[in-house]
Amino acid sequence: MIKVGILSCAHMHAGGYAHGLQLLPNVELVGIADENKERGEKFAQHFNIKYIPSYEELIQKVDAVVITSENSKHKALTLMAAEQKKHVLCEKPISVSVADAQAMIDACKQNGVKLQTAFPCRFSPSFKRVKQVVDEGQIGQIIAINGTNHGSMPGGWFTDKELAGGGAVMDHTVHVADLIRYLTGAEFIKVYAEIDKKFHPELNTDDCGTLSMTMTKGIFCTLDPSWSRNSAYPVWGDVTMRIIGTKGVINMDMFNQKLNLYNVDDRKAQWLYYGANTDAGLIKSFIDAIENDTPVFISGEDGLRAMELALGAYLSAEKCQPVELPLVK
Amino acid sequence: MLKVGILGTGTMAKTHASAYRAIDGVQVAAFADSLPGTLDIVAKEYNAKAYTNYDELINDSSLDIIDVCLPTPLHKENTIKALATGKHVFCEKPVARTLEDAMEVKKAVDAAKGKFMVGHVVRFFPEFMVMKQMIDEGKLGTVGIARTSRIAAQPHGVKDWYENMEMSGGVILDLIIHDFDYLNWFFGKPKRVYAQGLFKKTQEEMDYALVVIRYESGVIAHVEGSWAEPSGFNVKAEICGSKGIIDVEPYKEAPLTINLRDPEVKQAGVIVPEAPVEESQYTTEIRHFIDCIINDKTPRVTVDDAIYALKIGLAALESIETGLPVNID
């Protein structure tokens, strides 16, 4: 039995991960630790687990932790767990700076524990099929990718630059950035970005933008990470990729398995996703890596490379010039 | 009776000819093509004169309107000659292959007696007219992000001039210049352009480009253009603002599908979707041009509009070559 604890539920994905953990027969979800007592107790009650006020105390009781705190707190919690020889599944983006992410990777390596970045989109059946078709060479060599990860403005700490490390670009660049790297086996070498705040003037962070990336292997891509979905839109957002190859093209709209709901009280049409639970796939992969002592499927390095793209995009937008990657050589 | 002479006998020439024929008081009186073959066929169909020399058609004093449907590099010379005769001139997009050529056309237009319009036909598509109306009425609030896509298989023109990138300017100057034009119509003056694409970078018989335009108003527009699709044609547009989102995928909107059983063959028949219209958008466009001639009005697409669309295209080509953003003056 692998004992797991959740460190902070500041990020709403904590719920999906808790559910994923409780689905597994070889996992005991021990509890939730959170510095916010009200938030932690509510979460504990919902999942019928223990609320433990102290992170240190929960870490002592488990083999592995899932970190779903605010982005800027990932580093401290990861270091705390790694030093106690506990494996870490860390919510994306892995951190808010290259130095912090590198410190997390180093700490886990030195302590001989696993560090996985939470990129559940890799577990989407549609994406897995894309990967298979590309690997089989069916679309030839990849030339370009046109991606989006639209979302709704999440509010709360997500729009606090200190806690989140940025706005929409920080929040929504990393998922598709990771899918692109994993799919192509190429690395980002240059980014140009136009970033702005147009949808929510009251925010202190960006809320929209478009990134243009150049990769090794001669591949080029764009990515729209905007919080451009309003409350009237039928769904929270999307993950889409158009993959252009020398022999064919793939269109993926990851969450386009939906029911249309028209309810008079909601005053809007809604799309209800009925596809696979990618969070559960992510959690199972992390637990399997611990159980079988195999390398994690999505490494800390993967998390760092994806986050670095977002950081490069901010630099580019500031200078109105392309920025070379990696930022730290 | 207004008499029209059409330079060229390709797809656009035939489309325009059928548009003129649908309008009362207008007659297609002549075609010109340097090669016989199609020329004889269309001339016979329209009971029109057939010239194998462009100048002879241009100088035919019985004609009132010259419609230039020739490959892009031939637009300037023939447009200027036609304007000099005092006739009205309609020119297919793009107005010219280079900015220098376009400025010469502008000079000729400013000095000409006749009306002049460029075939940026998207301004006459009802869905884009409604889209503009919604933006102008403030239904979207402050626009932040615009995303458009125009994707097709590589066309094969006479002597494969489409494939000759230098001549056609590839997918950027031939296809998504449509998007540049209507985005300018929506959002005003473009400020800078960053683009990635295959222009002059591939030996494959295809082209693909991802273009980011930043407008002075702050709008970030992302335009995808593809001649990399194995088959099909599709258009998409999505405009996101602080108060609303509007999107359309016109070729997917089919009010009608016709599914016919083939009594001879045991295999399944083909379902053909249709979107019948009262009038083709090309006819609406030509009808507008005729109205401008008869009632002395300013055409919806001016030579300056055509030049701004071209400027974005040329800036995109330059950005692809330099890897840097290009400012538009």
> Averaged over B60-69, what is the pLDDT?
98
Of the candidates B20, B3, B118, the residue with the CA atom closest to the CA atom of residue B57: B3
Q: Are B229 and B152 in contact (CB under 8 A)?
A: yes
Name the helix (H) or strand (E) containing B278: none
Q: What is the 3-state secondary structure (H, E, C) of B138-188?
A: CCCCCEEEEEEEEEECCCCCHHHCCCCHHHHCHHHHHCCHHHHHHHHHHHC
What is the predicted pLDDT for the residue at B313?
98
B136 and B167 in a single domain? The answer is yes
B154 and B242 in a single domain? The answer is yes
Q: Are B193 and B328 in contact (CB under 8 A)?
A: yes
B301 and B180 in a single domain? The answer is yes
**Domain carrying residue A112:** 2-120+279-298
Domain count, chain B: 2
A167 and A105 in a single domain? The answer is no
A162 occurs within a structural domain: yes
What is the predicted pLDDT for the residue at A328?
87
Q: Tens of pLDDT along B67-109?
A: 999 999 999 999 999 999 999 999 999 999 999 999 999 999 9
B130 and B109 in a single domain? The answer is no
The CATH number of the domain holding residue A177 is 3.30.360.10
Select from B228, B241, B245 the Cβ nearest to the Cβ of A143. B228
A273 and A133 in a single domain? The answer is yes
B151 and B88 in a single domain? The answer is no
B156 and B37 in a single domain? The answer is no
For an interface test with B, the pick among A133, A229, A242 (most B C-beta atoms closer than 10 Å) comes out as A242
Domain count, chain A: 2
The CATH number of the domain holding residue B72 is 3.40.50.720
Question: Does A260 contact B at CB distance below 8 Å?
Answer: no
A17 and A113 in a single domain? The answer is yes
Question: Does B212 contact A at CB distance below 8 Å?
Answer: yes
Q: Are B13 and B6 in contact (CB under 8 A)?
A: yes
Q: Check A228 against B144: CB less than 8 A apart.
A: yes
A59 and A109 in a single domain? The answer is yes
Q: Check A196 against B218: CB less than 8 A apart.
A: yes
Q: How far is Cα A72 from Cα A67, in angstroms, rounded to an integer?
A: 11
Q: What is the pLDDT along chain A (329 residues), one digit of tens a residue?
A: 999 999 999 999 999 999 999 999 999 999 999 999 999 999 999 999 999 999 999 999 999 999 999 999 999 999 999 999 999 999 999 999 999 999 999 999 999 999 999 999 999 999 999 999 999 999 999 999 999 999 999 999 999 999 999 999 999 999 999 999 999 999 999 999 999 999 999 999 999 999 999 999 999 999 999 999 999 999 999 999 999 999 999 999 999 999 999 999 999 999 999 999 999 999 999 999 999 999 999 999 999 999 999 999 999 999 999 999 999 87
A329 occurs within a structural domain: no
B104 and B227 in a single domain? The answer is no
User: Could you check whether the bond before residue A25 is cis, i.e. omega within 30 degrees of 0?
Assistant: no
The CATH number of the domain holding residue B290 is 3.30.360.10
Q: Tens of pLDDT along B185-229?
A: 999 999 999 999 998 887 677 899 999 999 999 999 999 999 999
Q: At B272, is the pLDDT very low, low, confident or very high (cuts 50, 70, 90)?
A: confident
Give A47 to chain B, closest Cα distance, Å.
Answer: 37
Give the residues across from B225 on adjacent strands: B150, B209
Question: Does B206 contact A at CB distance below 8 Å?
Answer: yes
B322 and B206 in a single domain? The answer is yes
- CB within 8 Å of chain A, chain B residues 38-67: none
Where is the domain boundary, B114, B133, B166?
B114
A189 and A268 in a single domain? The answer is yes
A161 and A126 in a single domain? The answer is yes
Give B96 to chain A, closest Cα distance, Å.
Answer: 28
Q: Check B245 against A194: CB less than 8 A apart.
A: no
Q: At B269, is the pLDDT very low, low, confident or very high (cuts 50, 70, 90)?
A: low
The CATH number of the domain holding residue A27 is 3.40.50.720
**Domain carrying residue B159:** 122-327
Among chain B residues, CA nearest to A195: B220
Q: Which residues of A touch B201 (CB under 8 A)?
A: 218
Provide the 8-state DSSP code for A299. Answer: B
Question: Does B208 contact A at CB distance below 8 Å?
Answer: yes
Q: Which residues of A touch B195 (CB under 8 A)?
A: 212
Q: Tens of pLDDT along A5-61?
A: 999 999 999 999 999 999 999 999 999 999 999 999 999 999 999 999 999 999 999
A264 and A319 in a single domain? The answer is yes
Q: Check B145 against A226: CB less than 8 A apart.
A: yes
Q: What is the mean pLDDT of chain B?
A: 93
A149 and A251 in a single domain? The answer is yes
Q: Check A321 against B218: CB less than 8 A apart.
A: no
Q: How far is Cα A25 from Cα A67, in angstroms, rounded to an integer?
A: 21
A135 and A244 in a single domain? The answer is yes
Where is the domain boundary, B114, B139, B169?
B114
Question: Does B323 contact A at CB distance below 8 Å?
Answer: yes
A-B C-beta contacts closer than 8 Å:
103
Alpha helices in chain B (DSSP H): 11-21, 38-46, 54-58, 75-84, 99-111, 126-136, 165-168, 170-174, 177-187, 281-294, 303-322
Query: Which residues neighbour B274 within 8 Å (Cβ) at sequence distance 6 or greater?
Result: B254, B255, B256, B257, B258
Question: Does A69 contact B at CB distance below 8 Å?
Answer: no
Asked if residue B132 has pLDDT above 60, the reply is yes
Q: For residue B45, how many other CB atoms are within 10 A of its CB?
A: 14
The answer to whether the Cα torsion of A76, A81, A85, A89 is positive or negative is: negative
Query: Which residues neighbour A204 within 8 Å (Cβ) at sequence distance 6 or greater?
Result: A159, A160, A161
A17 occurs within a structural domain: yes
B162 and B205 in a single domain? The answer is yes
What is the predicted pLDDT for the residue at B203?
67
B44 and B189 in a single domain? The answer is no
Q: At B262, is the pLDDT very low, low, confident or very high (cuts 50, 70, 90)?
A: confident
Q: Are B313 and B96 in contact (CB under 8 A)?
A: no
Asked if residue B52 has pLDDT above 60, the reply is yes
Q: How far is Cα B122 from Cα B308, in angstroms, rounded to an integer?
A: 15
B140 and B265 in a single domain? The answer is yes
B35 and B133 in a single domain? The answer is no
Question: Does B241 contact A at CB distance below 8 Å?
Answer: yes
Where is the domain boundary, B114, B132, B155?
B114
Q: Which residues of B touch A198 (CB under 8 A)?
A: 142-145, 218-219, 241-242
Asked if residue B159 has pLDDT above 60, the reply is no
A55 occurs within a structural domain: yes
What is the predicted pLDDT for the residue at B157?
58
A313 and A187 in a single domain? The answer is yes
- CB within 8 Å of chain B, chain A residues 208-247: 208-210, 212, 214, 218, 220-222, 224, 226, 228-230, 232-233, 242, 244, 246-247
A52 and A160 in a single domain? The answer is no
